[in-house]
Structure 1
Amino acid sequence: MPPISEQTPEDVKFENVHLKRIFLEHLNSIYFGKKHLIDFFEEIKELASLAYLKEAVQECYEATQKQLAQLDSIYSAINETPSKTTVLGIKAMTLEAYLSAIKTGKTAMERDVFIVFYVQIIEGIEITYFDVLRNLAKAIGYSNTFINKPFNLAVKNKLVFEAIYKAYITEPA
């Protein structure tokens, strides 16, 4: 079905109520995605073989708990409460990561590489969610600085796992 008109993004104007609803939907998605990740990080920490990977996953677990607390304060600041939503994308990604890591015949190193690969993808998704939340918050007049802490934690975690991944796949000189 062809578009009704040839509008540009500049032509589309959202009402504040719609932006708030979109913001809240995104906030709920990242919130319940984070709740799911708590269990995921506990599971993959047990699968990881190297001590520093286990430590990095533990740090990610702790950062996720901090981010949940920060998200709780965001809900309080905007006088809202979390509203349960499905997070099928994150659940599918974590299931794929888990199945890839436990696939029979993988060495411990191969498992670790798959764990790190998938955690990087998950952190990238989180960074995108927080960036969208910052932009939406600014558009509806909320301070977007309260999203900076969870955003910065997600960026830090992604960089940690990128460094671990590079260490795994780089051949010694």
Structure 2
Amino acid sequence: MAPHQKPDMRIFRGHFSLDEISLRKIFMVQLNSIFCVKQHLLKYLPTLIERASFNDLKNAIIENIDDIKIQLLRMEAMYQLLHETYSPHKCLGIKSITLEAFITNRDLHLSDLENDLTMLIHLRTLENIEITCFEVMHDIAAALPNKELDMMLKQNLDMAKDSQRLYKLITKEYLH
């Protein structure tokens, strides 16, 4: 094979598909994880409102908090649909990302605008993580028999994408 050629991709066409019990187990792990993340963000995001200097950024964070509350309500409904309860997670990855951003901004002695842009980079990173999680959960839910679950995940995914777009628009304000 020439050095610039990629090896042929193997497409499994479902030969390794998981059964419903396995899919549900993985779905619950992810639901518990994103639920923990969203609860953490409800505590963390208000501190960013206080530190933001641009009113549009403050308002975007407030809107995101309101969206998170709705997303959590939908996730609580998912637990009910599945006859499950939230199993607490530590969500250490997200907590460390938020702590690192907080410490970095404080230690660098940034101007207000520099702080806002750094905050936006951080917020967009968090939204990307949430979007990926909701996309995977949506894919898993599509393979499960409960279509209501699929619909609620699509709504949460759409809200996360809307937040991401808003943060991206605000970011551009700092760059022009």
TM-score relative to the length of structure 2: 0.88
- Tell me how far 1:40 sits from its aligned partner: 1.1
- More displaced stretch, 152-161 vs 80-89: 80-89
Report if the CA contact (8 A) 1:31-1:71 is conserved: yes
Structure 2 CA distance, aligned partners of 1:105 and 1:75?
A: 43
Q: Deviations over 1:25-62 (max 9, x none)?
A: 00110001100001110111111111111111111111
For 1:92, give the aligned amino acid: S
2:91 corresponding residue in structure 1: 87
Structure 1 CA distance, aligned partners of 2:54 and 2:161?
A: 22
Q: 1:46 to 1:13 in 2, by over 3 A?
A: same
Structure 2 CA distance, aligned partners of 1:120 and 1:81?
A: 29
The 3-state SS of whatever aligns with 2:79 is helix
Structure 1 CA distance, aligned partners of 2:108 and 2:122?
A: 18
2:5 corresponding residue in structure 1: none
- Provide the identity percentage: 28
- How many residues of Structure 1 are paired with residues of Structure 2 in the alignment? 165
The 3-state SS of whatever aligns with 1:166 is helix
Task: Give unmatched runs, 5+ long, in structure 2.
Answer: 1-9
For 2:112, give the aligned amino acid: A
The answer to whether the aligner puts 1:133 opposite 2:137 as a matched pair is yes
1:103 corresponding residue in structure 2: 107
RMSD: 1.6
For 2:153, give the aligned amino acid: I
Task: Give unmatched runs, 5+ long, in structure 1.
Answer: 1-5
2:4 corresponding residue in structure 1: none
Segments ≥4 residues shifted beyond 3 Å: 6-10
